[in-house]
Structure 1
């Protein structure tokens, strides 16, 4: 726990340093605290250039951070979160300590010189690198190393956005991919510590200052649900456009990688000249949209512009996150949607700003499929509790729709394009290359659903499996009953316990013989008992049994299937 506090303090201090660097480079290269709030103005450092300085700012920034990243830490390129997810999933939480320094400078230079990216990806990678470094110094076990990495990510999000709860859920939902009491306690300590430092430096204020919104008509919930569907398509589209433009940049560039950000900065400069609201993160523009200050057509132009500018920034080798851009895109989408429904249903639609807020959360959920984080972070960033119910509805709709549209998120797609499956085996792993059908055991004798509890207890004690499949009266597969469930039922009061095993049978997550063993291990390890049934290709009836012992025997098979 002391280590979690220490990592949180480091992440908090790192976020302060990171934001200071962004402010310094932004003022140096644009002459403004946030050029997106003064679009089209000139740079007072070079007044003779007028607004055309935006053509050169990305080039200068690229000349500085391109060699830095290429020479010292190439993993600092891009949006950062996928690298942390990979380190936790397959590399035991190992992240080079120099990533923290290089990522801080490279991302601050990218944003300060006009790169249209966010700061959450960098601070997650910075905090995670600090956590990994502490774990390495203290010789922490692999499990604790991963937890310290998550603590660093949580602390970074908490301090940067003044969102301690969101930091916790971001770390568990996206970085660890699991929830446990130990992980929750450690990430809370890190998040709170980092938040205290962040609030001391930046103040305890909500990210957006907005008037209260109210849902005055029940019909509005249908409108918010529909917005969730549209936001899911937009979020998935943003993911696809991001990597499509990155592919185009890879195809076009033939020079040295260290020079790529500077040359590509010319193209980014043209985008900024045409649409200066894309300079940097763009929080002033986002806030204006939520307050209804833009017309419908301009909102759609800003939406498309952000997709292009962010994708181009990443594609030319820039360093920055995609979380803030997804919020920006969602705000533009939500505001445009709100204006549209307000014209069609003026007496029912309600405030446009409410749709902007909901659009922010739903678009992020559609892109990242992190619904808990999306709900919590929008609540913390705005301090607006009145919007929580429509936000939850839209986020759930967006998450479900996104899952139907694609198997990948904006984070995992980057890794899958490199041939990395976070649910698959790590390179060189002894377990994982096989399929379940190659290592499963014969199916143990099934229990009829009408079997008495006392008889089931005897059969389970003799089976050696700790769990047995259960079939109904006509032989259909019902589920699995565990020795623990039977023992607990027998210990209940006689009038409350079932008399047969049928009511106790529960189907575990279905496994099929053609599934990779690595995927099956997640189900096996989370199931009660010592094994789970393997179903046929249609997933209807059991054809084998996967136990811990049969999975371990795969080690001796030499990794063949």
Structure 2
């Protein structure tokens, strides 16, 4: 009886849109509870190792629970942690290794949203152990993978279709980010920009619902205050000229974000070469010795590092030490992941941005004086810009910075910073800190697709161009000439629809389906000249060429930022507009036609007459000058309406 009831319930959830919304609420609750449990798990393991809920700002202070180790604790702790989480990952869920987000991205892009259920538990335990024992990584990547795996498990249990399962996985990611940062808007943007990578009304509403519910659950445990509660008060941009300094910092941060990505994967490659074919389960423990030596040199790199960020915002560190912290965090995070640790790169990128931005603020304050503004302002701007550069998710970077600080007066400088940082990053490299992991496996989720081609290419890109543009003012055609003798009988006359040169291929294809029996004329945006002729085959050839030849760095930049080709950025034209002054005359060549056996280019066409297409041996081809005509061919000619004595037909003739 219970199994039948559950089966009917699962069937209702699959079949109804309301069922997806109900599951989104369940996923939001699960993600909120999961985020809270994960944070407490990190606090617990950190307390067991150090005697503190969060550790790092204390500097050389040794563990309260292992005082006999002294500062040697910083070397021993990562080794002990590696001995615990290394076998756990190796035995139960290898995908829990690393920063987690790429695994969720590939699950959505390639695997229909399917993630193994055990990833939820293994990722939570492994990441909490790694961070608690000194791993210099973030907790946001793991909670994204935890929430996504939880959502995928729910969806697979009810056998949700793949298109909706992917949306549910994005809901889990959004819920995790929302709950861990108390930032629901950030969660939504993160899920859409980085996980789902597409936008629909149903998906955005569902993701918003899950993020909202997760945030409400999280507030029960952690309150409703902004995540970064220990910032100095009164941070503001004092003068509009300081936007120049913000832009300069953003450009530097863009380069730092790319550097962070390079250090991360070069360190991982080095660790792979050094470790070789030895057992993976032992790699974190052995590599923990090297990580421990780095922590021994700079203890502030222990764990996630939020207390250190608070101290940096408050101005507790000298300029030289801020530079060490920024460089050290990149190296410590890269080393933690390279040796097989489990944790995210979101928080480390914020750490690097905050410390490097604070260093920049101190420098310009010393050079310019108080007019440069509070150095903490540049720390916040740098925080957003470095993440925007590393992840190329400008909306997520903007929302996270503003929501985490709770200061919406920073919107404009942060907006400028993330835009500049993303642009610099896109110009310097292909692949983000997340997608590069997939590229190294031979998977490019940002590769051009036919969908992008239909949006980015225009009718002008695909058309067969006329040798000389046809003036729409029209020409007097040769009305006395007997064209039926040369070309055969007129089988159809129709008024052509007009395609504009800057219409996207998607727009053009819709009109071809409705009106383009043998193609349509393409006119310029001023509607003064006919530039060429477009057929279905032209469209397919253009799409094929786009997929083969498009520059990947340009295409990736446009997609990551949501940009379209500027030529396609035009309003929809009326699909019923017709080409005034011209008509398409179709001739079916008989054996007696004078054109049979001759090339199209050999025919003496009067002014204003353009052959546009030939149905030759049941294949529609461009009326190129080299096409040799045969009996039975159907030749379409664009002619002035006042230049023919044929009468317009109703278009009812058969093909």
Normalising by the residue count of structure 2, what TM-score does the alignment of the two structures yield?
0.70
- Match status 1:375 vs 2:398: yes
- How far apart in 1 are the matches of 2:138 and 2:127? 9
Correspondence list, 1:146-545, <5 A: 146-209=166-229, 210=231, 211-254=233-276, 255-424=278-447, 443=463, 450=472, 455-456=496-497, 461-464=514-517, 469-471=522-524, 513=545, 515-516=547-548
Mapped contact 2:42–2:129 kept (Cα < 8 A) = yes
Matched with 2:129 is 109
Matched with 2:88 is 68
Of 104-113 and 208-217, more deviation after overlay is shown by 208-217
For residue 330 of structure 1, give the secondary structure of its aligned residue in structure 2.
Answer: helix
- How far apart in 2 are the matches of 1:29 and 1:293? 26
Of 213-222 and 304-313, more deviation after overlay is shown by 213-222
Offset of 1:449 from its aligned partner? 8.8
Mapped contact 2:497–2:521 kept (Cα < 8 A) = no
Structural RMSD (CA):
3.4
Q: How many residues align?
A: 491
Matched with 1:143 is 163
For residue 390 of structure 1, give the secondary structure of its aligned residue in structure 2.
Answer: helix
Offset of 1:37 from its aligned partner? 2.5
Matched with 2:651 is none
1:90 to 91, 101, 110: 110
Mapped contact 2:148–2:171 kept (Cα < 8 A) = yes
- How far apart in 1 are the matches of 2:180 and 2:326? 24
- Match status 1:2 vs 2:22: yes
For residue 112 of structure 2, give the secondary structure of its aligned residue in structure 1.
Answer: coil
Mapped contact 1:212–1:386 kept (Cα < 8 A) = no
Offset of 1:444 from its aligned partner? 6.8
Change (3 A) 1:350 1:96: same
Offset of 1:451 from its aligned partner? 9.2
The Cα offsets for residues 301-348 of structure 1, whole Å up to 9 and x where unpaired, read as 001110110000000000000000000000011000000111111142
Offset of 1:227 from its aligned partner? 0.7
For residue 523 of structure 2, give the secondary structure of its aligned residue in structure 1.
Answer: strand
The Cα offsets for residues 33-91 of structure 1, whole Å up to 9 and x where unpaired, read as 11213121121222111122111110010000000000010000000001111111111
- How far apart in 1 are the matches of 2:521 and 2:372? 54
Higher-helix-fraction structure: 1
Offset of 1:265 from its aligned partner? 0.3
Larger Rg computed on CA atoms: 2
- How far apart in 1 are the matches of 2:241 and 2:142? 40
Offset of 1:240 from its aligned partner? 0.2
- How far apart in 2 are the matches of 1:100 and 1:465? 56
The Cα offsets for residues 236-259 of structure 1, whole Å up to 9 and x where unpaired, read as 000000001111100101321000
Change (3 A) 1:98 1:468: farther
- Match status 1:80 vs 2:71: no
Q: Relative CO higher for 1 or 2, CA cutoff 8 Å, sep ≥ 6?
A: 1
Offset of 1:233 from its aligned partner? 0.1
Change (3 A) 1:248 1:442: closer
Mapped contact 1:444–1:468 kept (Cα < 8 A) = no
Of 65-74 and 441-450, more deviation after overlay is shown by 441-450
Change (3 A) 1:110 1:451: farther
Q: Which runs of 5+ in 1 are unaligned?
A: 433-440, 483-506, 530-543, 545-549, 551-561
- How far apart in 2 are the matches of 1:50 and 1:73? 35
- How far apart in 2 are the matches of 1:465 and 1:61? 69
Mapped contact 2:386–2:421 kept (Cα < 8 A) = yes
Of 337-346 and 416-425, more deviation after overlay is shown by 416-425
Matched with 2:647 is none
Mapped contact 2:470–2:531 kept (Cα < 8 A) = no
- How far apart in 1 are the matches of 2:172 and 2:465? 49
- How far apart in 2 are the matches of 1:464 and 1:360? 56
Offset of 1:445 from its aligned partner? 8.4
Mapped contact 2:498–2:520 kept (Cα < 8 A) = no
Mapped contact 1:468–1:481 kept (Cα < 8 A) = no
Matched with 1:500 is none
Offset of 1:156 from its aligned partner? 0.4
Mapped contact 1:470–1:481 kept (Cα < 8 A) = no
Matched with 1:31 is 51
- How far apart in 1 are the matches of 2:155 and 2:518? 37
- How far apart in 1 are the matches of 2:519 and 2:60? 70
- How far apart in 2 are the matches of 1:81 and 1:412? 9
Of 345-354 and 111-120, more deviation after overlay is shown by 345-354
- How far apart in 2 are the matches of 1:127 and 1:334? 31
Offset of 1:470 from its aligned partner? 3.4
- How far apart in 2 are the matches of 1:466 and 1:198? 58
For residue 194 of structure 2, give the secondary structure of its aligned residue in structure 1.
Answer: helix
Change (3 A) 1:183 1:51: same
The Cα offsets for residues 350-403 of structure 1, whole Å up to 9 and x where unpaired, read as 000000000000000010000000000111111011211111001100011111
For residue 497 of structure 2, give the secondary structure of its aligned residue in structure 1.
Answer: helix
Q: Which runs of 5+ in 2 are unaligned?
A: 1-20, 453-460, 475-494, 500-510, 574-612, 614-618, 620-655
Mapped contact 2:519–2:534 kept (Cα < 8 A) = no
